[in-house]
Amino acid sequence: MSSVTVTLPDGSTLSVERGATVEDVAYEIGPGLGRDTVAGKLDGELVAKEAPIEEDVALEIVTEDSDAYRSVLRHTATHVFAQALQRLQPDANLAIGPYTDDGFYYDVANVDVEQDDLEAIEAEMREIIAADYDVERVERSRAEATEMYADNPYKLDVLEEEAAGEDPVTFYRQDDWEDLCKGPHVDSTGEIGAVSLLNVSAAYWRGDEDNDTLTRVYGTAFESEAELETFLEQREAAKERDHRKIGREMELFSIPDVTGPGLPLYHPNGTTVLRELEDYVDELNREAGYDFVETPHIFRTELWKQSGHYDNYVDDMFLLDVNDEEYGLKPMNCPGHATIFGQTNWSYRDLPVRYAENGKVYRKEQRGELSGLSRVWAFTIDDGHLFVRPDQIETEIESIMGMIFEVIENFDLTVEVSLATRPEKSMGSDEIWEQAESQLRSVLDSGGYEYDVEAGDGAFYGPKIDIGFQDALGRTWDGPTVQLDFNMPEQFDLTYVGSDNEEHRPVMIHRALYGSCERFFMVLIEHFAGKFPLWLAPEQVRILPVSDENLGYAHRVKNEFDGYRVDIEDRDWTVGKKIQQAHEDKVPYMIVVGDDEEDAGTVSIRDRKERELKDVSIAEFRTHLDGERDEKRDEPDFLE
Ligand SMILES: [Zn+2]
Ligand SMILES: [Zn+2]
């Protein structure tokens, strides 16, 4: 019998017989652990405790105390859901039902399930949990499984794909019900402490829009009711911050069907915020010595062939036929900027050359992936491309990281930083990769940035630093990026003349401070729950005349706030109602003007945190506003 080496989480190793199961190894470590084993993780992948170990591998035993236990529990909950559904709708065809980061879903066909039906299914699930059925692993021949699923094209597809070549295949059974499945599962349905079905949506089979549309039911499960309660409360709070909801309420943007999927329209309020965001990065770019350039939205595909995008990216591009010649909407701004650089003869003394453009790009994402502003077909990158000598990489990256973190700290965002290093397939010499990676590391280390190294995750053309933003739901979104590129200068034959009078290749740096401006906008909407800081707020100040008699004075006061976005509430409402509406509209400051204020030539100030001060001098308030806006302070703080 040959043996294989198993590496345990503490770094120790164990030699076991080839074909030994996860459970066998657990028993070998100790009988207690053997009995407690629920599942295993082989090289990070969650597997059943019956899974055999066929090669050298890293193994983690999963017990009730492991982080992965909840995933196993949720996987069993998907089975409980499917069984409950088939009890109520016996003709339901089951497709796949995986666990996710915060719960599970099951894709099903031939059903009639709407939001209103979830309660009844949930009740049936509770019965199954209360009955505490054993969950047993069953093996069946491939032929038998194929026959069982004669009327279920999805399970047949799973047999072809996920279970390709396996015979026998495994099922999991509870009570009189079973499902084709590799596991793992908890031992009995009663181990599920609490379940909840959350919502219903449509999904394409295998995420491909050419396939059948299935019904996807989302749910979640926890060890206890208390944990479920906490989760549901957090979810409600996050829903209140959903950028699609706030986007509608504050009239920031819309994505109507008529304009096409993933093609957002920015309304005046949303455009105001986006403009302010762009002005902010423009200012940072100007201070850091960038020159602004502008390129069109479409180019001949010759350009995309030269840059290499046509070969690697054509499926995501929008192509157009113009007078028998092919053009493409730009998915990236870099080729345009590289072409601009290539039109000039550069000396080593001219470098670095830094170009900036807030350029709209177009990428054909799968329709099923589009959602609000998080994934769209058209978005703006606050793009920058630098052309530098190899010895300038470190200083430039340092300055870019400084700019990125100025933005992050300004908004007090939670981020994750990662350094992605050389992949197996890559271009450029060992020497330049080593030099580039060590310069990136040195910037991160000396700057005191916390980061993960994603070994081998760099682009084929160079290493990169990626920064992800966390949103209100704890999801991470692609944000700023700094990428070194040895390839594009080759493709575009970019050169500069060195001090040795020879021609040299510059290194190109791609960078963005926000990433996608629209996605950053989304993160900010949820981060602030629509309560934007003064400098971003679409409406910064609202003047509330106590009665129509004070309208004239209201207009005179408004004139004192030139340069601010100020509206006068002139509807025939009580002051109380006017204040309430301003709160709902999330306006940072209200100026209340009645007879007293008019007689004294002063104003009363309220803020959206319901604080109030009477008899304020207009000049004093204006001076405060200038400081709060120019320093981009987070919260209205005049009344602090
Ligand atoms: Zn399963
Ligand atoms: Zn680029």
The pLDDT of residue 430: 86
Q: Which has more pLDDT, 495 or 371?
A: 495
State in Å: Cα 82 to ligand 1 middle.
Answer: 10
Ligand found nearest the CA of 511: 2
Biggest CA pair distance of the chain: 100
State in Å: Cα 172 to ligand 1 middle.
Answer: 7
Q: Which residue, chain included where needed, has tokens 């340092």?
A: 398
pLDDT at 393 over 80: yes
Residue 74 lies in a domain: yes
State in Å: Cα 437 to ligand 2 middle.
Answer: 19
pLDDT at 232 over 90: yes
State in Å: Cα 397 to ligand 2 middle.
Answer: 15
- Which residues define the annotated binding site? 334, 385, 510
CATH number at residue 79: 3.30.980.10
Contact 525, 380 (CB under 8 A): no
The pLDDT of residue 293: 98
State in Å: Cα 448 to ligand 2 middle.
Answer: 26
Residue 235 lies in a domain: yes
The alpha-carbon radius of gyration of the chain (Å, integer) is 30
State in Å: Cα 370 to ligand 1 middle.
Answer: 28
State in Å: Cα 96 to ligand 1 middle.
Answer: 8
The pLDDT of residue 234: 85
CA nearest neighbour of 108 among 81, 142, 135: 81
pLDDT at 477 over 90: no
Shared domain check, 204 and 79: yes
**Which whole-number Å values give the CA distances from 5 to 440, 555, 616, in the listed order?**
36, 81, 77
Taking each helix axis from N to C terminus, what angle separates 268-287 and 393-411, rounded to the nearest 10 degrees?
Answer: 140
> Rounded to the nearest 5 degrees, what angle is found at the Cα of 441, between the Cα atoms of 411 and 481?
40
- Residues 6 or more apart from 117 whose CB is under 8 A from it? none
DSSP calls for 157-169:
HHHHTTTTT-SSE
The pLDDT of residue 367: 64
Ligand found nearest the CA of 76: 1
Shared domain check, 298 and 229: no
CA nearest neighbour of 86 among 175, 9, 219: 175
Tokens of 324: 């028998």
* DSSP-based three-state secondary structure for 206: helix
Q: Any bridge partners for residue 40, and if so which?
A: 47, 61
State in Å: Cα 160 to ligand 1 middle.
Answer: 16
Shared domain check, 313 and 457: yes
Ligand found nearest the CA of 381: 2
**Last residue in a domain, options 18, 43, 65:** 65
pLDDT at 139 over 80: yes
Tokens of 161: 């794909």
**DSSP state, 39?**
E
**Last residue in a domain, options 241, 276, 311:** 241
Contact 138, 173 (CB under 8 A): yes
Ligand found nearest the CA of 46: 1
Residue 307 lies in a domain: yes
AA identity, residue 528:
F
pLDDT at 1 over 80: no
Shared domain check, 420 and 295: yes
Shared domain check, 487 and 446: yes
Whole-number mean pLDDT of the chain? 93
Shared domain check, 302 and 154: no
Shared domain check, 229 and 83: yes
Shared domain check, 447 and 349: yes
List the alpha helices (DSSP H) in 255-322: 268-287, 301-307, 309-313
State in Å: Cα 182 to ligand 1 middle.
Answer: 6
What percent of the chain has a predicted confidence (pLDDT) above 90?
82
**Last residue in a domain, options 34, 65, 96:** 65
Other CB atoms closer than 10 Å to residue 226's CB: what's the count? 11
Residue 390 lies in a domain: yes
pLDDT at 314 over 90: no
The pLDDT of residue 223: 95
Shared domain check, 302 and 383: yes
Residue 528 lies in a domain: no
State in Å: Cα 253 to ligand 2 middle.
Answer: 27
368: confidence class by pLDDT, cuts 50, 70, 90: low
pLDDT at 148 over 80: yes
Other CB atoms closer than 10 Å to residue 292's CB: what's the count? 11
Ligand found nearest the CA of 461: 2
CA nearest neighbour of 118 among 35, 246, 219: 219
Tokens of 303: 């350009």
Contact 501, 383 (CB under 8 A): no
Whether omega for the bond prior to residue 184 falls within 30 degrees of 0, making it cis, is yes
The total domain count for the chain is: 4
Other CB atoms closer than 10 Å to residue 603's CB: what's the count? 25
Residue 255 lies in a domain: no
Ligand found nearest the CA of 180: 1
State in Å: Cα 508 to ligand 2 middle.
Answer: 9
Which residues have a beta carbon within 5 Å of ligand 1, which is an ion? 181
Residues found in the chain: 640
Ligand found nearest the CA of 171: 1
What percent of the chain has a predicted confidence (pLDDT) above 70?
99
Name the region of 474 (left: φ>0; alpha: ψ -120 to 50; beta: rest): left
CA–CA separation, 474 and 414 (whole Å): 10
Residue 637 lies in a domain: no
Residue 160 lies in a domain: yes
CATH number at residue 416: 3.30.930.10
CATH number at residue 34: 3.10.20.30
* DSSP-based three-state secondary structure for 406: helix
Tokens of 287: 């201070």
Shared domain check, 459 and 393: yes
- Domain, as residue range, for 570: 534-631
State in Å: Cα 338 to ligand 2 middle.
Answer: 9
64: confidence class by pLDDT, cuts 50, 70, 90: very high
CATH number at residue 556: 3.40.50.800
Contact 152, 111 (CB under 8 A): no
State in Å: Cα 501 to ligand 2 middle.
Answer: 29
Contact 220, 199 (CB under 8 A): no
Side-chain-facing half-sphere of 73: CA atoms under 13 Å = 24
List the alpha helices (DSSP H) in 560-617: 575-584, 595-600
Average pLDDT over residues 371-391: 92
Shared domain check, 233 and 196: yes
The pLDDT of residue 475: 72
Shared domain check, 418 and 291: yes
Average pLDDT over residues 43-65: 92
Contact 459, 416 (CB under 8 A): no
Contact 77, 189 (CB under 8 A): no
* Strands of 594-638, DSSP E: 603-607, 612-616
pLDDT at 429 over 90: no
- Which residues define the annotated binding site for Zn(2+)? 334, 385, 510
CA nearest neighbour of 518 among 288, 247, 170: 247
